[in-house]
Amino acid sequence: MAEIPKVEIRPPKEDGPDSSLPTLFADGVLNLAPSADVVKFYLCRQDPSYDKENLYITVPIAQVVMTVQTFIQTVAFFSANLKIMVARKIITPEQLLVVNQQFEKFADQASNASKS
């Protein structure tokens, strides 16, 4: 197994991001394509249909490409922040449990399908 490099987390040198930094609003992640070296995924938005009432269309809005190690660190970062959000009562443990169960079911189905 490859040794995982230590990561030094440093605060930014400035007070915050430059005002020219683009802002993206995403409703979720459309897919994930891992390989041995990189992980790619698309952020998506749910846009209303122009011709059908109460119908939304999933629209990819950005592709994110990371090394596998950076992806692992990003997932760990989000996971740690979810715990903080629960502690601060921004979200409830029940909300997190429901979403985790949905994705565990998805992962189980995907694992079983790849074995076939």
Q: Considering the domain boundaries, does residue 44 fall inside one?
A: yes
51 is a domain residue:
yes
Query: Running along the chain, 116 residues long, what does each successive block of 10 average in pLDDT?
Result: 70 72 92 96 93 88 97 96 96 95 89 79
* Within-domain flag for 42: yes
Residue 85 falls inside a structural domain:
yes
User: How many distinct structural domains can be found in the chain?
Assistant: 1
Residues 4, 69 contacting (CB under 8 angstroms): yes
Is 47 inside any structural domain?
Answer: yes
| pTM for the model | 0.74
The boundaries of the domain holding residue 68 are 28-89
Q: Is residue 101 part of a domain?
A: no
Supply the pLDDT for residue 113: 82
Task: Check: CB of residue 40 under 8 Å from CB of residue 64.
Answer: yes
Is there a contact between 82 and 96 (Cβ–Cβ < 8 Å)?
A: yes
pLDDT value of residue 21: 82
pLDDT at 49: 85
Tell me which residue of 74, 64, 69 sits closest to 30, measured CA to CA.
64
pLDDT value for 2? 63
pLDDT of residue 1: 57
Q: Is 1 part of a structural domain of the chain?
A: no
Cα 20 from Cα 24, distance rounded (Å): 12
Asked if residue 75 belongs to a domain, the reply is: yes
